[in-house]
Every structure is written in C-alpha cells, then in structure tokens.
Structure 1
Amino acid sequence: MTENEFDVLDELYFVQSFGYLKETLDLEVSAILEALNSLYHNGLIKCLKTPDEECFNQVDILKEGKGLYFLATKKGLMAHNTI
C-alpha cells in the first residue's frame, strides 16, 4: 500500500465524499483518484452513489470518482491496521 493509499484509507472509516477527501488531504485531485482507484480494485474500499446507496456495478473511479462517496471495507480496515 502506498503512502497516498494509506492516507486516503485513513479517512474512510466512515462514509466520506470525494469533496471531503479533497479538502482534508494534502494531495492533488489526480493523486486522490489514483489512490481510490487502486484501493477499490484491491477490494479495500467500496463506492456509494449517496451516503446510503452502495454502487454494486463496476465503477470507473477515474471518471466518476468526483461524484461518489467512499467507505473502507472490512478487508481495507484490516489492511490499514496491520501496517
């Protein structure tokens, strides 16, 4: 897990919007999207359309990520806590 991925995952213990991540993290938008994309494809986070509506179809985070919400999965929480 990269440092950027770790930092993003650190913010996803609760549902957070992309806007929140952009405001909170000292990272470029592209770096946040790349970290989210990697975390998503490794099953460490899940994507939500709204804070209560999970996306069950495959999501293209690089294209759609700015309008989504994110939450760490159990696997993601375990990976984050073992580093």
Structure 2
Amino acid sequence: MSAEIRSQAASRYEQDPITVWIEPENESCQFPSLNTVQQLLNRLGLGVNDALIIRNNTLLTPDRKLQPGDHITVSHVTSRG
C-alpha cells in the first residue's frame, strides 16, 4: 500500500475535536474525544449543577451524546442568594 493511500485511509478515521468555550472565564479548549456531556463535566471537574452545557442554543443534559466537531459552551452557574 502506498504512503498516499495509507494517509487517505488514516484521515477517514481522524475526527474533529470537540471545542469548548468556558464562560465567564472566556477560555477555549479542545477535547479529541468525548462521548457524553457527563464525560465533559468530569474532565472539567464540574458537577451536573455547576454549569449549563449548551450546543446550538440548546441546553444539554448529562446523558446527551457529543459528536466530533461539536462547539459547546459551558456557562458556570452562580448563585446570588
């Protein structure tokens, strides 16, 4: 198999990372692979009640699946009691 064919075959299996924008810190990070919102929360060290997870203006619950190339906003919840 030529190097070109191997390269094309490998690129089919490469996935776009999940891009995460964190508010209010205004920081961005990327994850090569995550399956669910819960996994994202775990990687960020957050609990389910610590932040709102948003994709395409839609709130996501911890059980929702994430897809390669997703752009996710994590908005920290602050209590003003």
Give the TM-score range, shorter chain: 0.3 to 0.5
Instruction: From the CA coordinates, give the structure whose radius of gyration is larger.
Output: 2
Q: Whose helix proportion is higher, 1 or 2?
A: 1
TM-score between the two structures when normalised by the length of structure 2: 0.38
